[in-house]
Structure 1
Amino acid sequence: MVEDLTNKFKEIEILKDEPLFNYSWTKTGGKADFLAFPSSFKETEELLNYANEIKMPITVLGNASNLIVRDGGIRGLTIILTKMNAIRTEDHRVIAEAGAAYIDATKAAQKAGLTGLEFAAGIPGSVGGGVFMNAGAYGGETQYVLESATVLTPQGEIIVLDNDQLDFGYRHSSIQDYGDVVLEATFKLEPGNKPEIQSEMDHLNYLRRSKQPLEWPSCGSVFKRPKGYFAGKLIHDAGLQGYRSGGAEVSKKHAGFIINVGGATATDYLNVIKHVQETVYHDNQVHLETEVRIIGEPK
């Protein structure tokens, strides 16, 4: 299988038995059987179609920021889209490939004098990941500014989905339901004042730096906001800040984050998540649902 894959796609970087802790923002995760880095729609399409043809499992990642890969790793073919990172502006639109950093899309919007993406100025994920999970912050969400997304369907067809076809909800899009792969996103924005846009981006980044433990590896916000509550407050009130399993710790700076304070494994992260969920449920009868995507095999 190795020979088949590497011989067929010599123009694409493909690594065998590659540790995913080299790529995940938690600095944890087991090995991918095959890890590929396509740089175009065509290469992505060819990889997925071939993997389907030989019945190889497929996992597609953006930049692995809001993600935990279990210590047993990922079987089959894992694709990381960070080489697909082109961004351009046309009229009042920012058009970004899926592997582009969401932060870079906000910078392109500011440079073009377009407002509406400021909320994403500090979101560490990729554009594709932002569409996948309807990423948002500080009152803004992807669904409010996304005009359309170009996706590759599980059947190998490249199509364009309009905003209303994506079934956006809180940290949800139809991409999660149907297994499409985001290739590109088009954001429709409004003309704005460049200094004012930059000032708002700077302000939101200041808030993020002052409230979040950005100095440590983490997967970002771990839990979704329960209806009528704030996850961070529930965790804080339960006295869980500083709780640790191995090298994974509930941040003392922001209770909604779990940080790698040194040598953490994915299992450490999952143990902390389980303990937080059980404790908060015991205290408040509220189930904390994970926002972070958890994938891969147990060790």
Structure 2
Amino acid sequence: MSPSIDVGLTVTLNNGVRMPQLGFGVSEARDAEASVTEALAQGYRSIDTAAVYGNEDGVGRAIAASGVPREDLFVTTKVWNGHQGCQHALDCQARSLERLGLDFVDLYLVHWPTDAFAECVQTWSAMEQLSEEGRARAVGVSNFRAGHLQRILVLGGTVPAVNQIELHPHLQQHEMRALHDAHGIRTEAWSPLGRGSVLAEPVLERIAERLGATPAQVVLRWHLQQGHIVIPKSDTPQRIAENRAAADLELTDDDLAAIAGLDVADGAGRIGPVPDDPAVTP
């Protein structure tokens, strides 16, 4: 059931919606309006934000001023834990739409799993309602581990289109990626460069030198060739352009095998917080 990837750098989600594989993230952006303005000018069409980032209004202003037709954009935002539960999530999404200046988002994610089973179910009910009403073209989750996903899958309703997780060469998440593939869930990588921690690896430097590229471009191309959706972030115009140019590279099978060897055992390469992995039911 692994979803397909095409050479146009878009992927098809499990409900048929097309999503750019290479997008632009704005977590901790110094000036989201300026960085999104630059990203859109350089050809990015997928923008990833979240209510908790506090910059949806800046993203919205950049989108409005860009002149890019709405149908050419793919906008993702997320509901944070303080707004989980059915009505809270619906209200949170309405406020996000207002800040973004949009009538709908293309992807709406549950930003972080909750420990409470009942609250998880209620929040997912809201996500399904948003999808049915057209306020989100696709719905998914973020930072969910296997037990969190099973809580949703056992309901027998909408399968998340995406799970956005920490993923980079030091944390390759093989088990989660296999679980996603088994259920037609797209894997999306946040912190795809490991906050820069992976870029000094000699393996990446050697590949980059051979290709006339940067180690960051090599890592992003690795993600793309693995089929991951990837959302690098930067406040620097040069790096915004460099990240996008990763789409033009091509890694060999030997390159991919060498990068596979950078995975750190037992998840020790993780740099972000670790969600608890609960049982399926309370």
TM-score, structure 1 as length reference = 0.28
Which of the two has greater helix per residue? 2
What TM-score comes out, normalization by structure 2 length?
0.29
